[in-house]
Amino acid sequence: MRLFVMAASLRRASYNKKLAAIAASLAKSKGVEVELADFRDFAMPVYDGDIDAATGLPDGARALSARIKAADAIVIATPEYNNSVPAPLKNAIDWLSREKPYPTIGKPVLLLATSSGRGAGLQGITATRIPLSFIGAHVYPSSLGVGSAATAFSDDGARLADDELQKKLASLIGEFLDHGARVAPSRAPA
C-alpha cells in the first residue's frame, strides 16, 4: 500500500506538520510505503476561472494531483481556520475539482488536526469533510484532534507527549490502513 501524508499548512514550524510526520512514522512502522509531502511544494494561485480557462491546472495542482493518483490512501493533518477549512487547503481542493475525473475519486482519506486551543481542530476536520467528499474522496469516519498543540508533542517532536493519545493515534492509523487496503481503488499503471 502507498500512503500519501501531508499537513495542509504552509507554516514552517506547523504543529500539523509534526502530527503528519508522526502519522507517517506510525504507518511506516506497519510496513506501508509512505510519502510525507510538504504542502509548500504544491504552490498554486487562488482559484480563478479565467486562469483555469487560459492555462488549466497550475503546476502545483498538477503535482498534487499526480501524488494523489499514485497513492492508495491519504492522510491529511489540517489546521483549523476560524472553525473551518484552511484557505490553502480549500484552494487546492477547488483546483483539484477542475480535473476530470477527480484524482480523489474513491481514495480513502484520514483527517487529523492539532490546534493551540482545546477544540483540537475538530471543527476544521468537520468542515474539511464536505469539499473532500464532494470530489469523491472516501473520508474515513474516525478522525483525531489534538488540543494544546504547544505542549502536545515530545521534546524531539517524534511522538505525542500523552502516551494514551499516542496509542490512540497508532490504533487509528492501523485501523485506517486496514480499511484503506480493503477499499482503495486500483491504480492505473504509471
Give me the CATH number covering residue 95. Answer: 3.40.50.360
Would you state the cell numbers that stand for residue 181, as one nine-digit string?
Answer: 487496503
Q: What is the pLDDT of residue 115?
A: 92
How does the average pLDDT of the chain come out, rounded?
Answer: 94
Predicted local confidence at residue 118, as pLDDT: 81
**Phi/psi-derived region of residue 35, left when phi > 0, alpha when psi is between -120 and 50, beta in every other case:** beta
Instruction: Tell me whether residue 188 is in a domain.
Output: no
pLDDT at 69: 97
| pLDDT tens digits along 28-45 | 999 999 999 999 999 999
pLDDT class for 188, splitting at 50, 70, 90? very low
Q: Which amino acid is at 114?
A: T
pLDDT of residue 159: 97
* pLDDT (average), residues 59-69: 97
Domain around 112: 2-183
pTM: 0.94
pLDDT of residue 5: 98
- What is the rounded CA–CA span in Å between residue 150 and residue 10? 17
Where does the pLDDT of residue 189 fall: very low under 50, low under 70, confident under 90, or very high at 90 and above? very low
What are the Cα distances from residue 137, in Å, to 86, 96, 97, 110, 168? 18, 12, 11, 10, 24
User: Does residue 100 lie in a domain region?
Assistant: yes
Residue 97 lies in a domain: yes
Position 96 in a domain: yes
Q: Specify the number of domains making up the chain.
A: 1
Q: List, for residues 157-173, the tens digit of each pLDDT value.
A: 999 999 999 999 999 99
User: 186 vs 107, which has greater pLDDT?
Assistant: 107
Asked whether residue 74 is assigned to any structural domain, the reply reads yes
Residue 186: per-residue pLDDT: 67
Identify the bridge partners of residue 2 per DSSP, sorted by sequence position: 33
According to the model, what pLDDT value does residue 187 have?
54
* pLDDT for res 184: 80
Kindly report, residue by residue over 119-156, the tens digit of the pLDDT. 898 999 999 999 999 999 999 999 999 999 999 999 99
Residue 190 lies in a domain: no
- Distance of alpha carbon 96 from alpha carbon 184, whole angstroms: 19
Is it the case that residue 113 has pLDDT exceeding 50? Answer: yes
